[in-house]
A and B are shown apart, each in its own frame.
Chain A
Amino acid sequence: MSNMNSRLNNGGLIDRSQQISFTFNNKAYFGVPGDTLASALLANGVDLIGRSFKLHRPRGIMAAGVEECNAYLQVGSGDRHTTNVNATQIEIYEGLTAKSVHCWPSVEHDIGALVGAFSRLLPSGFYYKTFMWPAKFWHLYEHAIRSSAGLGKAPETEDIDTYEYRYDHFDLVIVGSGPAGLMAARQAAPSGANILLVEQDFRFGGSLLADTAMINNQPAADWAKHTLDELKGFKNVTLLPRTTLTGYYDGNFLTALERVTDHLPVNVRRSGIARERLWKIRAGKVILATGSIERPLVFGNNDRPGVMLASGARTYLNRYGVQPGQKAVIFTNNDTAYEVATELQQKGVTVEALIDIRQNPPQAMSKLASSHNIKVLTGCAVHNVLGKKKVKGVEVASLTAQNTLGSDNLRINCDLVVQSSGWTPTVHLFSQAGGKLLFDEEQLCLRPDPTTISQQLLSVGSCNGNFSLTDALREGAQAAHQALLDCSFESTESSWPKASESLPCTPQALWRVPGRKQNIKRFVDLHNDVSSSDIELANREGYRSVEHLKRYTATGMGPDQGRTSNINALAILAEEQNRSIPSVGTTRFRPPYTPISFGAVAGRRVGELFQVRRKSSLYEAHEEAGAVFEPAGLWMRPDYYPAAGETREQAVLRECRGVRESVGIFDASSLGKLDIQGPDALKLLNMLYANGWNTLKSGACRYGVMLKEDGFIFDDGVTACLGENHYHMTTTTGNAETVYSWIEEWLQCEWLDWDVYVTPVTTQWAAISIAGPKARDLLNKVGTDIDLSTEAFPHMQFREGTVADIPARVFRISFTGEHSYEINVPSSYAPALWQALMKAGENLGITPFGLEAIHRLRAEKGYIAVGLETDGTVTPYDLGMSWAVGKKKADFLGKRSLSLPDLSRTGRRQLVGLLTDTPEYVIPEGAQIRLESTTQPRSQGHVTSSYMSSTLNRSMALAMLENGLERHGEKVTLHIDGKTVAAQVTKPLFYDEDGGLLNA
């Protein structure tokens, strides 16, 4: 346990009356409500937070907000383990556990830090250059590199939390609740528009929470609270804290990540509440009030724990009541740090000196400093920070007119270095929205160019490059007024409160403080361990484009996304190339602004809800029969029904025998079904199918193949004529939606005047197929009012009647080669029909059979399966199905393509049967048939379907073979896993060649 030895006795937006216990690196600490993990650690005097990514250098807390680039920690453990969480953004809660990353065995004593000793040998590109050769050793290198690289540890157990989406629509979305955002919301609220105010912090107010300025004669934080209380009174305003707007897409579509439960003790997180909610928002108008981020300076050992941004120091002091150090040195190139220096001094931190690189800072600044007894050194720079795991002091030297170091050297002891190099507008969302940026020569930053944005957005306040408090309030109010008018809402004239005057920033550029020694690192991107020498090296090696620089050095990558480093890196690259910063350009900001968990992206689509499993109404009947299911498209279909102790193969062979010898029962419900009606129905069928339909009489069925415009088969099935201008079309299971869309496309785009109505009825009708020599007996036994005699109801006919007293459509069609009926009943009656058939079939040896059995049975008959025998490059002629092409038809989809020379040339692969010389050997599907006759052997065909057949008592296969139709009887060889297999080419028909069984 530790005392909160850096906590001030009063001040700040925290509640000192309560304590919250938490652990960091297994050591117990206390914080208070209102603390972030970072502020609580600082309050407890914890300086060393982690180790750096590549060089394992000791790192502390540098900032107080989203821009923090060192304090990425692992929070929680086991099934609630989150890695790379920014300590400045986590509210502490009772029982929080956090650990440092990139260190072993501890953050204090890290073996990996030895790497740092060789840092000169590890410049950017080191891994690329070093581990290229010899290539065969890569697997040795890989293990070592992977174990030392990466950001944090991935969780090893399943995440226990749930995640979800939230879709919503708002007239106005305001991003950020600092002065500009709050003011915009307050101006817009009375209009009645549907408004969303998004704030990434757990507290609304943004920079106002740490600002000592006055608004309307009250402290800024009080004004923020007062304004927020007013907003809570408006029902049309949704206030969303703990939410980061992460992405801005076309059409004012936004994504925002709400951290719903991360701030709650684990034991009070209610089940059913998602941990994170990913908002997907359509916004009429967006006001970006995302603020700005302070830039660090680039100087020697600027990464030591205790080197902090001025804005960070100010926030810890004023918002969290924490002294970030005892003795501070301020290092700046602008005015705003003076104010922070005075606040530090006032609250008990001794400011040893203020180092300003400017020779002549404004007089007002000098006066401000002297009035607080702060010693100012102008025209000087901190060129080195002393100390390793904690700042011990700085070395200061004067700057010459050429920005080189003078020969003097002043050492100042301190434990805190507060730095400021000006402000960078947070333009990420503006950039994501498609806007371009301008370089502001005065403020040395990139700011939005509003003329380049086509989306409905307005940037206001410091994210727009206007840094004064009054500007922020004014722009917020004016933008809200404009946004409301644009959205046709009434708006009162914009007004804003009076604010105390802000200090101007006016930074002077010094992108790199010169170093005295080469081995002293000057970091640009602390998150990725990129120093100024890495950027210089990259430029020397030819990575002159900013995009190449980024990828070669990793500057601006990772969770931090270069929030503090981008401008400095650009500027150094520009200096190296003697170019201006605008001419070097900038990388494009991409979503997400801050990291999003995979859980939030997946939302509710995990586990059972990952994907729809379509089930026929017979699913439970199959479960009761012990079916093993197989996904077929989205459908879950029985693959086979094993009896006790049976293997899959044994079950399938038994099922096949059951069909061939008595009767089998099969659930065909998932086959696509389309109801086609209207005077032009026949015309439609004739266009969709390659074969002719004019002669199909009412009550008859016909098989047809559908071609795409390219002449290749894309689906097949049986269509029945139910009556005049009324047809029932079936498609394959997997193509049901595709065929329907295909038909609709033609009807909606090409044949608009056709009077025909197509309705998908796949799930309206359950289909039970009974197949086998005893199928007719079964149907008679279960009871039907349909005359089943061959004369009255021959093969390929359809009848309507009742089966087991259930109204039914019965199709005498077969996919097994057996005498067969497909009984269609409304889905909710199918379980009753299945049960009745099973009962009636008990004495007939009825056998439920699944997908695998039906595939073997149809292959014995040489019936094609779309997707096996066809692959999008197969014509009906290739399959020996010229009978399925209406040669005399005037037109059908794909007709023209069938006459292309390539589709009728010799040498095309054509459907054949294959019987191996070894009857018990089953060829793997996909095996290639090798052509031996040339000097360069090549494939001349491939196996499409291959099974052990219980009917033939041997294996059999279907294959696509060059000129196969003319090669029946030939011997071919297949090369499979280094072995040669000989087989005879046959016609693709192994059972009931004359169709006698079908027609019986």
Chain B
Amino acid sequence: MLDNVTKVIHAPRIGAITAKLLQQSSSLKCIKLADKSFRGKFILWGNPEDKDFSDAVYAATGLKLPRQSGEVTDAGPYRAIWANPKRWYLICEQENETALSEALAASGQVHMSVTDGQCCFHLQGNHAVDLLKKGCSLNFSEAHFAPDQCLQTRLAITKAFLHRRSTNSFDIYVERSYSEYIWGWLLDAAKEFNN
């Protein structure tokens, strides 16, 4: 949606993953892959050293913004993911998107919606780490990549954010135009665990 548009849109909304690929993923056995792309996603910019900025974001969303690479903070329905020293991803479920959009507008801080530009997949299963290790060079040891951390990395041959929700479940954020490739790649790589 537009940055601050709150009008209800009746036009149909098309996800990034084709029906055919969604169908293929439903037959996975030991791995679950779900498209969560309509989750609300915003980019927020600001100087965290500036108390006015931090206070304004906190007042509007309840979020205390993470300050370290990999950190994620939550407040009610909203989540903040560290992207760089002055940039965060703010995430919420689809039903809270309008409220978050309005809250950000009210905060007066630099932000924009990337709901339609970024996709989110949820990957879950005992082999989730083995699957990701086929295309991602991160160290998945929990000592290095603990649950509830989110790291920016390369998956297959595309940029991605991996948010580790638990030992064996991940939210994968990729740019929309790469999403079909990544989805297809994950399906292909997951075949090993499908027998």
- A residues near B (Cβ < 8 Å) are 164-169, 194, 270-274, 280, 282, 604-605, 608-609, 611-617, 620, 635, 670, 675, 677-678, 757, 759, 761-766, 800, 802, 804-807, 809, 826-833, 836
Is A806's CB under 8 angstroms from B11's CB? yes
- B residues near A (Cβ < 8 Å) are 1-2, 5, 7, 9-16, 18, 37-38, 43, 45, 86-87, 110, 112-118, 133-141, 144, 156-158, 175-178, 180-181, 184-185, 188-189, 191-192, 194-195
Is B45's CB under 8 angstroms from A677's CB? yes
Is B192's CB under 8 angstroms from A763's CB? no
By DSSP majority rule, is chain A's interface helix, strand, loop, or mixed? Answer: mixed
Q: How far is the CB of B162 from chain A (nearest CB, A)?
A: 13
Is A194's CB under 8 angstroms from B192's CB? no
Is B141's CB under 8 angstroms from A169's CB? yes
Report A-chain residues with C-beta under 8 Å of the C-beta of B7: 802, 807
Query: How far, in angstroms, from A182 to B48 measured CA to CA in the complex?
Result: 52
Q: Which residue of A lies closest to B13 (CB)?
A: A828
Is A807's CB under 8 angstroms from B117's CB? no
Known contacts A807-B1, A827-B117; decide if A678 and B110 are in contact (CB<8 Å). yes
Known contacts A617-B14, A757-B87, A831-B14; decide if A677 and B137 are in contact (CB<8 Å). no
Known contacts A167-B136, A765-B117, A826-B2; decide if A609 and B185 are in contact (CB<8 Å). yes
Taking A604-B156, A609-B188 as known contacts, 16 extra A-B pairs with beta carbons closer than 8 A to each other, sorted by chain A number, are A271-B191, A608-B184, A615-B177, A670-B177, A759-B87, A759-B114, A762-B177, A766-B116, A828-B13, A828-B16, A828-B37, A829-B9, A829-B11, A829-B116, A831-B14, A832-B13
Is B177's CB under 8 angstroms from A675's CB? no
Query: How far, in angstroms, from A72 to B133 measured CA to CA in the complex?
Result: 33
Is B177's CB under 8 angstroms from A807's CB? no
Is B11's CB under 8 angstroms from A614's CB? no
Known contacts A604-B135, A615-B180, A616-B177; decide if A757 and B86 are in contact (CB<8 Å). yes
Q: Which residue of A lies closest to B138 (CB)?
A: A167
Query: How far, in angstroms, from A763 to B86 measured CA to CA in the complex?
Result: 22
Report A-chain residues with C-beta under 8 Å of the C-beta of B156: 604, 609
Query: How far, in angstroms, from A553 to B125 measured CA to CA in the complex?
Result: 55
Is B116's CB under 8 angstroms from A763's CB? yes
Q: How far is the CB of A266 from chain B (nearest CB, A)?
A: 16
Report A-chain residues with C-beta under 8 Å of the C-beta of B185: 604, 609
Is B110's CB under 8 angstroms from A757's CB? yes
Is A617's CB under 8 angstroms from B176's CB? yes
Known contacts A169-B141, A609-B184, A831-B12; decide if A761 and B192 are in contact (CB<8 Å). no
Is B176's CB under 8 angstroms from A827's CB? yes
Query: How far, in angstroms, from A762 to B191 measured CA to CA in the complex?
Result: 32
Of B16, B134, B177, the residue contacting A164 (CB under 8 A) is B134
Q: How far is the CB of A137 from chain B (nearest CB, A)?
A: 46
Query: How far, in angstroms, from A232 to B74 measured CA to CA in the complex?
Result: 41
23 residue pairs bridging A and B, Cβ less than 8 Å apart? A164-B189, A167-B136, A167-B137, A168-B133, A271-B191, A282-B137, A604-B135, A604-B189, A609-B185, A612-B158, A614-B178, A678-B45, A759-B45, A763-B118, A765-B116, A804-B11, A826-B2, A826-B113, A827-B16, A828-B15, A828-B16, A828-B38, A829-B9
Report B-chain residues with C-beta under 8 Å of the C-beta of A678: 45, 110
Is B86's CB under 8 angstroms from A609's CB? no
Report A-chain residues with C-beta under 8 Å of the C-beta of B43: 759
Report A-chain residues with C-beta under 8 Å of the C-beta of B118: 763-764
Of B10, B37, B188, the residue contacting A604 (CB under 8 A) is B188
Q: How far is the CB of A784 from chain B (nearest CB, A)?
A: 14
Q: List the 3 closest A-B pairs by CB distance, nearest first.
A: A272-B191, A764-B117, A614-B177
Known contacts A612-B157, A612-B158, A804-B11; decide if A635 and B116 are in contact (CB<8 Å). no
Known contacts A757-B45, A763-B117, A827-B116; decide if A833 and B11 are in contact (CB<8 Å). yes
Is B141's CB under 8 angstroms from A194's CB? yes
Of B12, B116, B133, B139, the residue contacting A826 (CB under 8 A) is B116
Is B178's CB under 8 angstroms from A612's CB? yes
Report A-chain residues with C-beta under 8 Å of the C-beta of B181: 609, 612-614
Is A165's CB under 8 angstroms from B16's CB? no
Q: How far is the CB of A288 from chain B (nearest CB, A)?
A: 22
Query: How far, in angstroms, from A882 to B78 measured CA to CA in the complex?
Result: 50
Report B-chain residues with C-beta under 8 Å of the C-beta of A169: 139-141, 144
Report B-chain residues with C-beta under 8 Å of the C-beta of A635: 177
Report B-chain residues with C-beta under 8 Å of the C-beta of A273: 191-192, 195
Report B-chain residues with C-beta under 8 Å of the C-beta of A809: 2
Is A166's CB under 8 angstroms from B117's CB? no
Report B-chain residues with C-beta under 8 Å of the C-beta of A763: 116-118, 175-177
Q: How far is the CB of B28 from chain A (nearest CB, A)?
A: 11
Query: How far, in angstroms, from A836 to B144 measured CA to CA in the complex?
Result: 50
Q: Which residue of A lies closest to B190 (CB)?
A: A272
Q: How far is the CB of A165 from chain B (nearest CB, A)?
A: 6
Is A807's CB under 8 angstroms from B116's CB? no
Is A761's CB under 8 angstroms from B117's CB? yes
Report B-chain residues with C-beta under 8 Å of the C-beta of A757: 45, 86-87, 110
Q: Which residue of B lies closest to A673 (CB)?
A: B117
Query: How far, in angstroms, from A443 to B158 measured CA to CA in the complex?
Result: 52
Q: Which residue of A lies closest to B193 (CB)?
A: A272
Is A272's CB under 8 angstroms from B195's CB? yes
Q: How far is the CB of A665 from chain B (nearest CB, A)?
A: 17
Is B134's CB under 8 angstroms from A165's CB? yes
Query: How far, in angstroms, from A609 to B183 measured CA to CA in the complex?
Result: 11
Q: How far is the CB of A676 from chain B (nearest CB, A)?
A: 10
Of A166, A614, A830, the residue contacting B134 (CB under 8 A) is A166
Query: How far, in angstroms, from A422 to B2 measured CA to CA in the complex?
Result: 76
Query: How far, in angstroms, from A806 to B194 measured CA to CA in the complex?
Result: 41
Is B9's CB under 8 angstroms from A807's CB? yes
Query: How far, in angstroms, from A836 to B18 measured CA to CA in the complex?
Result: 21
Query: How far, in angstroms, from A325 to B117 measured CA to CA in the complex?
Result: 71
Known contacts A165-B134, A829-B13; decide if A764 and B177 are in contact (CB<8 Å). no
Is B18's CB under 8 angstroms from A620's CB? yes
Query: How far, in angstroms, from A827 to B41 measured CA to CA in the complex?
Result: 14
Report B-chain residues with C-beta under 8 Å of the C-beta of A280: 137
Q: Which residue of A lies closest to B137 (CB)?
A: A167
Is B9's CB under 8 angstroms from A806's CB? yes
Q: Which residue of B lies closest to A758 (CB)?
A: B45
Is B177's CB under 8 angstroms from A761's CB? no
Q: How far is the CB of A609 from chain B (nearest CB, A)?
A: 6
Of B5, B15, B192, the residue contacting A272 (CB under 8 A) is B192
Q: Which residue of B lies closest to A613 (CB)?
A: B181
Report A-chain residues with C-beta under 8 Å of the C-beta of B135: 165, 167, 604
Report A-chain residues with C-beta under 8 Å of the C-beta of B15: 828
Q: How far is the CB of B131 from chain A (nearest CB, A)?
A: 10
